[in-house]
A and B are shown apart, each in its own frame.
Chain A
């Protein structure tokens, strides 16, 4: 469930109609249309997302295989909170980190609300920032799904406002698929003109499908809500694209850290933003992103002192606990500057709820892997991912450390994490394969 097929619809602004029963007016009619003859449709029409007008043209697939029957209480609990699902292991409300594979590695299918994750990275690479950007983008996408109530807010610590323009947009499929999608969107534009006429027809159509799947109209709504929540839970991001339109100040806040020597100033600012957001919308999820924590480019040298770092992180932990229904935190830090074998690393490990460490391959290893996967360049991994701590489970005393069990690779369409196995150099097989091929010819 946590993997998305390429063909799956990623963003569907039409949810506003069905999923949120409080939305009145013209949305009273179910807006979902099933277009089974349109495989691989992708629609993230910029600009329309935040508008509360329903868009019946964005199709949502209803697949019976997706429909689960959760206990009544959970569906109520999660129905109005887009992008929140119960954790797979502890049933805590959980949000996606913006990277489906990381969600899987964390076992909860994401980060439980009220918890924090630290991404450490060795070497001079900056893969961790990709994760932090996806984390932020995911928050903004969640917010754009529904314009009715503010769903999500992102707070970025330390970086300038221009960082918002660097956030990745949704993955729209391969170039081929994108072309297809364009044609389809053109087609659907034509049908916009006929919207008024087709509404009743679409409704009927909808009923047919419901009938076909044995769904009565009454309980359809709740099930569909669940299903849509599934769909809106995690998205796939294309790191070469940009989030369009770029996040506004209603969606993302920036808290500066330069020239700040006192941690309490930062905490006070964060607290103020959080309070304001929660006042506006009590069920809001706020994502705090701290990319490149403690980087000397942004932070004053005095911030490297334990009397800054630990009180600061401890205060962040306090914020997370105090707003345990709203807050999640992702931080990245360079292990070269602050090694995990040092006191700072250990203290961070004890203060964060989950910690993963990225260890990009060195040059030799990279060459070896490139050689091994000569024929399949898509398989080339970029480094190892070590899991040091898992939210909730580690705190309960379970042993969650997994050293060198996962490898990661960062591609255009997603940041992938898979089980690590040492690649085998099979030159001989390759030759064999070639000969058999030539024989067939």
Chain B
């Protein structure tokens, strides 16, 4: 493996991860980070948060310099983890989220079924109230530049009677309030994604429909999955960056489409190789 060179991860042709021009743009953009359950995107979302907040991404790209003014709000919405999970692990990756005032965590995990959605079989109204609250928090953010992450929104489709269109609508509305919405979603096939599903109430049908609708308007897609050959000692998985259905309407800005291999070490050190 001596000949294999380590790379810094960049997502765009201007060597950036989240370009400043995207944050300054009028248009709301959408990114989908898809993964298998075996390859959690935790490290990537942490790096994206760091890049959004201060401009660096110390774990995956040491070339980036911090932004001169910290004028970006990052909101992280999760259905699977609580704030502690992200905040306590963030210190390792170079940024302490607990003291960063531009970072907001919206915990939709801890009281999801005990308080917010008491009746999963009939949840549409409650989900609407919940997202209204979320939208308000995003809307009230101090800065104009906003990045919103939403982790596992598809969980609502499998655990409640919510329809894909309703969820799509909520996400689009959230997207309107921010420059970039990053949807993090597990995409194991055929468990979650099954294009052959036909039963409307089947969660895999709903999830597939939901994701397809998102893909039809996404601007950049990042996919992570384990090696097709199984576990390897020095490789954790493959990472694929591709442009979405719609381009970024920013002159000169293109998605840097590439396939990478990556490896996560014990202390969350991440090595990235070209494939």
Known A89-B266, A346-B191, A396-B268; contact A401-B155, beta-carbon cutoff 8 A: no
Q: Which residues of the partner chain B approach A207 to less than 8 Å between Cβ atoms?
A: none
Is B264 on the interface with A (CB-CB < 8 A)? Answer: yes
**In the bound complex, do residue B42 and residue A396 qualify as a contact, i.e. CB atoms below 8 Å apart?**
yes
Which of A267, A350, A395, A397 has the most B CB atoms < 10 Å from its CB?
Answer: A397
Pick the contact of A397 from B39, B112, B232 — CB < 8 Å? Answer: B39
Q: Is A46 an interface residue (CB 8 A)?
A: no
Chain B residues near A311: list those with CB within 8 A.
112-113, 117, 120, 159-160
- Pick out which of these stretches binds chain B: A28-36, A154-162, A315-323, A376-384: A315-323
Are B230 and A403 neighbours in the complex by a CB distance under 8 Å?
yes
Cα-based distance from A38 to B241 in the complex (angstroms): 66
Q: Let me know if A307 and B160 touch, CB within 8 A.
A: yes
Contacts of B158 in A (CB 8 A): 306, 310, 343, 347
Check if B38 sits within 8 Å of A388, measured CB to CB.
yes
How long is the Cα–Cα vector from A31 to B214 in the complex, in angstroms?
Answer: 68
CA distance A394 to B264 in the complex (A): 11
Smallest Cβ-Cβ distance to A310: which chain B residue: B159
Closest Cβ of chain A to B92, distance in Å, is 9
Q: Within 8 Å of chain A (Cβ to Cβ): is B125?
A: no
Minimum Cβ distance to chain A for residue B239 (Å): 11
The answer on a CB contact under 8 Å between A398 and B118 is no
Bound-complex Cα distance A244 to B181 (A): 58
**How many angstroms from the CA of A388 to the CA of B230 in the assembled complex?**
12
Chain B neighbourhood of A307, CB < 8 A? 120-121, 159-161
A263 within 8 A of B: yes
Interface residues of B in 111-142 (CB under 8 A from A): 111-114, 117-118, 120-121
Residue A345 at the chain B interface, CB threshold 8 Å: yes
Question: Does B94 have its Cβ within 8 Å of any Cβ on chain A?
Answer: no
Q: A264-B118, A396-B42 are in contact. Are A321 and B84 (CB under 8 A)?
A: yes
> How many B residues have CB within 8 A of the partner chain?
48
Nearest-Cβ distance from residue A328 to partner chain B, whole angstroms: 17
Please give, as numbers and ranges, the residues of chain A lying within 8 Å of B188 by CB-CB distance. 346
A contact residues around B40 at 8 Å (CB): 394-397
Q: In the complex, what's the smallest C-beta–C-beta distance from B136 to chain A, in angstroms?
A: 23
Q: Smallest Cβ distance from B90 to chain A, in angstroms?
A: 12
**A222 in contact (CB, < 8 A):** no
B118 contacts which chain A residues (CB < 8 A)?
264
Tell me the bound Cα distance from A402 to B41 in angstroms: 19
Given contacts A349-B37, A397-B264, A399-B39, contact A343 B204 (CB under 8 A): yes
Please give, as numbers and ranges, the residues of chain B lying within 8 Å of A263 by CB-CB distance: 113
User: What is the CA–CA distance of A314 and B38 in the complex, to the nearest angstrom?
Assistant: 19
Indicate with 1 or 0, residue by residue over A138-161, a CB within 8 angstroms of chain B CB atoms: 000000000000000000000000
Contact between B231 and A397 (Cβ–Cβ < 8 Å)? no
Chain A 387-410 per-residue mask, 1 if CB under 8 angstroms from chain B, else 0: 011000011111111110000000
Q: How far is the CA of A100 from the CA of B43 in the complex (A)?
A: 31
The answer, yes or no, to whether B82 is at the interface (CB within 8 Å) is yes
* Cross-interface CB contact of B42 among A346, A395, A401, A402, cutoff 8 Å: A395
Docked Cα-Cα span, A102 to B192, in Å, equals: 29
B110 interface residue per 8 A CB criterion: yes
Residues on A with beta carbons closer than 8 Å to the beta carbon of B191: 341-343, 345-347
Q: If the complex has contacts A307-B160, A311-B113, A401-B38, are A341 and B190 also in contact, measured as CB distance less than 8 A?
A: yes
Are the C-beta atoms of B192 and A322 separated by less than 8 Å? no
B150 CB, min distance to chain A CBs, angstroms: 15
Alpha-carbon separation in the docked complex, A264 to B115 (Å): 10
| Shortest Cβ distance from B84 into A: residue | A321
A343 contacts across to B, CB distance below 8 A = 158, 191-192, 202-204
In the complex, the chain A residue whose C-beta lies closest to that of B225 is A399
Asked if B89 and A396 sit within 8 Å, CB to CB, the answer is: yes
If A311-B113, A397-B236, A399-B39 touch, whether A350 touches B120 (CB-CB below 8 Å) is no
B85 proximal to A (CB < 8 A): yes
Residues 65 to 96 of chain B near chain A (Cβ within 8 Å): 80-82, 84-85, 89
Q: Could you say which residues of chain A place their CB within 8 Å of the CB of B230?
A: 401, 403
Q: Does B237 contact A (CB under 8 A)?
A: yes
The answer to whether A318 touches B231 (Cβ under 8 A) is no
**Residues B143-174 near A (CB distance < 8 A):** 152, 155, 158-161
**Given A311-B112, A347-B155, 17 other A-B residues pairs in contact with their CB atoms under 8 A:** A264-B113, A267-B113, A311-B159, A311-B160, A314-B112, A318-B109, A318-B112, A345-B191, A346-B188, A346-B191, A347-B159, A351-B80, A389-B38, A395-B81, A396-B40, A397-B264, A402-B231
A-B residue pairs in contact (CB < 8 Å), sample of 17: A306-B158, A308-B120, A310-B120, A310-B159, A311-B113, A311-B120, A318-B111, A322-B110, A347-B159, A350-B152, A388-B38, A395-B42, A395-B81, A396-B268, A397-B41, A401-B38, A401-B230
Q: Which residues of chain A have a CB within 8 Å of any CB of chain B? A: 89, 263-264, 267, 306-308, 310-311, 314-315, 317-318, 321-322, 324, 341-343, 345-347, 349-351, 388-389, 394-403
Top-3 shortest CB links A-B: A346-B191, A310-B159, A311-B113
